[in-house]
A and B are shown apart, each in its own frame.
Chain A
């Protein structure tokens, strides 16, 4: 009943104004991306000439692909993100399990030391980490780009929370059934933490798909360069590339993630909400 009254207030002028404001803001927010689409699918003479029925073309994409190996860059990014996510899931699961269920000596101190990485991301220590990577002979390798991020404090933190909220009784039941420590982890903790795994994975994928500074420093060949770095080199103003072609290249680089986001937007948005921090 009260709900109905609240809804009656809905169409007051101030509410109508709010809806109007919401849409104006939204148009401003999608305009840059829409513009990139416009430029990419039209010949360059239409880049700033918005004729509604200007002929569509794929030439800009063809040109971008012929000027730089974006497919190879895309493959590199895919390898990087996949390898990184798999290692993160394994490493973080083990560490989180230790923190959540083994009250080992020094555990609290160790946990606060893990959290340090939330503040000091590997790219902040770019100078020293580059030196370390050079000593390991991993410069210009995809492994080298991923290695500093494989132990993720954020992943350990999220999974520890999830494991801690798992009822102890379930573990005891599994123990009675004859499960060992890893059996319990595999059959009880991991299945129950599935939403956390999903959230973490989506955040990790989008973060590393978009990461730039560290991959820029580490990679210097076509075989290792991820999309962001390839695009960064391609789009450099001094390279004198046509505007429409840069737009096409930009769209090529963001397309896989953008499409995944549009298809699974609810999961993406929920994941970012759930995760709290990047």
Chain B
């Protein structure tokens, strides 16, 4: 009887999960093996030919490289800042809760709103950054229109958005540190930097791994800002994999190629899932 009840309770969730996660995952792989259909030529099975054209698609490689640099640019900086923020507000200091609030607020804002605000900072000549530079006599620059500066500009904005979110996990971890730890280090005459390097940082390692994996995950899932800031441009200089999938599906209406690209994204996510499974002890975070 308990088998029946168990499955009955699970049924609503199971139907929805199968319909919107498991089935579409398999369907994506299946669709990637067919050619793009049109009214004259229906879609037909073409084996791996979509994958072959993907390998020869310069935009695909461009997008993948961008994703790599986006991750490399965003993650170390935002995780480093997150640790710094957590350590700063974990001690008693004047205005502690105000500081914590300031760091955390960007987390609550939608990426689309953040992009709207930052768009003005980056706009050429009239934008805030160019105005400030201009007052020092430095000429304006089209930050989002220049392929060399567009990705760094987006990285900077993403760091601002994410650091406070990651700080939360470090704060949670630091709260479980016994007070005696710092006292012992102080009595032993350890410098604060030594204490951080040899005690705090190693103890935070599980949190760092957890945050790292989530940060990598976010770097593949986060594309909202591209809709407002650059639409992937100029010349794909800021395009990311998920945005390219969206473009293929909903602008070029090539759902089969979009499916092929989605398979690549799924493989990346699977690798991350395995990393999480092997490197992480979940209990540390979920008590």
Report if A and B associate in a common complex: yes
A213 near B117 with CB under 8 A, answer no
Which residues 162-198 in A have Cβ within 8 Å of B in the complex? 181
**A95-B9, A98-B10 known; A147+B16 contact, CB < 8 A:** yes
- Judged by a CB distance under 8 angstroms, whether A76 is at the interface is no
> A52-60, A66-74, A107-115: which lies at the B interface?
A107-115
Which residues 199-225 in A have Cβ within 8 Å of B in the complex? 206, 209-213, 216-217
- Judged by a CB distance under 8 angstroms, whether B14 is at the interface is yes
* Distance between Cα atoms of A129 and B10 in the complex (Å): 22
- Judged by a CB distance under 8 angstroms, whether B105 is at the interface is yes
* Distance between Cα atoms of A67 and B53 in the complex (Å): 44
Which residues 221-264 in A have Cβ within 8 Å of B in the complex? 227-228, 231-232, 235-237, 243, 246-247, 249-250, 253-254, 257-258, 261-262
B109 near A26 with CB under 8 A, answer no
Number of A-B contacts (CB under 8 A): 264
A21 near B108 with CB under 8 A, answer no
B113 near A231 with CB under 8 A, answer yes
Which residues 82-111 in B have Cβ within 8 Å of A in the complex? 84-85, 88-89, 93-95, 97-111
A18 near B273 with CB under 8 A, answer no
A102 near B112 with CB under 8 A, answer no
B117 near A250 with CB under 8 A, answer yes
* Nearest Cβ on chain B to A94's Cβ, whole angstroms: 4
A29 near B110 with CB under 8 A, answer no
- Judged by a CB distance under 8 angstroms, whether B6 is at the interface is yes
- Judged by a CB distance under 8 angstroms, whether B17 is at the interface is yes
* Distance between Cα atoms of A14 and B87 in the complex (Å): 14
- Judged by a CB distance under 8 angstroms, whether B270 is at the interface is yes
* Distance between Cα atoms of A79 and B5 in the complex (Å): 32
Main secondary structure of the interface of B (DSSP, over half): helix
Which chain B residues border A86 with CB–CB below 8 Å?
A: none
Which chain B residues border A237 with CB–CB below 8 Å?
A: 119, 228
* Nearest Cβ on chain B to A10's Cβ, whole angstroms: 8
A151 near B103 with CB under 8 A, answer no
Main secondary structure of the interface of A (DSSP, over half): helix
- Judged by a CB distance under 8 angstroms, whether A92 is at the interface is yes
A273 near B172 with CB under 8 A, answer yes
A94 near B10 with CB under 8 A, answer yes
Which chain B residues border A102 with CB–CB below 8 Å?
A: 2-3, 5-6, 9
| Closest A residue to B101 using CB positions | A265
- Judged by a CB distance under 8 angstroms, whether B59 is at the interface is no
* Nearest Cβ on chain B to A233's Cβ, whole angstroms: 9
| Closest A residue to B186 using CB positions | A6
**A181-B5, A273-B172 known; A33+B108 contact, CB < 8 A:** no
Among the interface residues A95, A110, A131, A150, which one has the most CB atoms of the partner chain B within 10 A? A95
* Nearest Cβ on chain A to B198's Cβ, whole angstroms: 18
A125 near B101 with CB under 8 A, answer no
Which chain A residues border B102 with CB–CB below 8 Å?
A: 26-27, 29-30
A273 near B171 with CB under 8 A, answer yes
* Distance between Cα atoms of A104 and B8 in the complex (Å): 11
Which chain A residues border B223 with CB–CB below 8 Å?
A: 213
| Closest A residue to B225 using CB positions | A212
The 3 closest A-B pairs by CB, nearest first: A104-B6, A128-B24, A102-B6
Q: Which residues of A contact B (CB under 8 A)?
A: 2-3, 5-6, 9, 14, 18-19, 21-23, 25-27, 29-30, 32-33, 35-36, 39, 47-48, 90-92, 94-95, 97-99, 102-107, 110, 113-114, 116-117, 119-132, 147-148, 150-151, 153, 156, 161, 181, 206, 209-213, 216-217, 227-228, 231-232, 235-237, 243, 246-247, 249-250, 253-254, 257-258, 261-262, 265, 268-269, 272-273, 276-278
